[in-house]
Amino acid sequence: MQIFIDIDNPLPQFSQLVEQIKLAVQQQQIKPGDPLPSIRQLANDLGLNNKTVAKAYRLLERDSVIQAKGYRGSYIHPDAQKNCTVNLSEVVEDKLADVIGLLRNTGATDSEIRIAFTKVMNSNTKREN
């Protein structure tokens, strides 16, 4: 099964990878338990940075589409088919849209919302660190 990356595509390369692997799972071109190439192999074959492929794998792992098995590498998750349909980015966008709508109704300006969003994000990041 081949995957393709278009370096001129405005969609980030890691997102293209995530989408294509999810699509391959949905179309059953790769099945639960199938092994995936190592990060280095895929990065070298596609001429990408290792970090880009690692980021794609991390996101797929977070979404339980793949699972890392230590030195044995990464495999397609047993529930990958089901988990592929959940798009966390869409969920985040939907929730944010609801919150922004609510704040606008209270009279907050877009600029105030943006500043508050950045402030909350930054303070959360500092706390996590």
Q: How many CB atoms lie within 10 A of CB 1?
A: 9
Q: Does 80 contact another protein by CB under 8 A?
A: no
Size of the residue set binding another protein (CB under 8 A): 25
- Terminus-to-terminus CA distance in the chain, angstroms? 40
Among 4, 85, 90, 105, binds another protein (CB under 8 A): 4
* Nearest distance in Å: CB 77, another protein: 15
d(C-alpha 13, C-alpha 98), whole Å: 29
Site residues for another protein, 20-49, by CB under 8 A, read 21, 24, 30, 35-38, 40-42, 44-48
CA pair distance 63, 56, nearest whole angstrom: 11
**Both tokens assigned to 46:** 């596609």
Let me know: does 32 contact 78? Beta carbons within 8 Å: yes
Region of 4-12, 62-70, 86-94, 107-115 interacting with another protein (CB under 8 A): 4-12
Residues that bind another protein (CB under 8 A): 1-9, 21, 24, 30, 35-38, 40-42, 44-48, 73
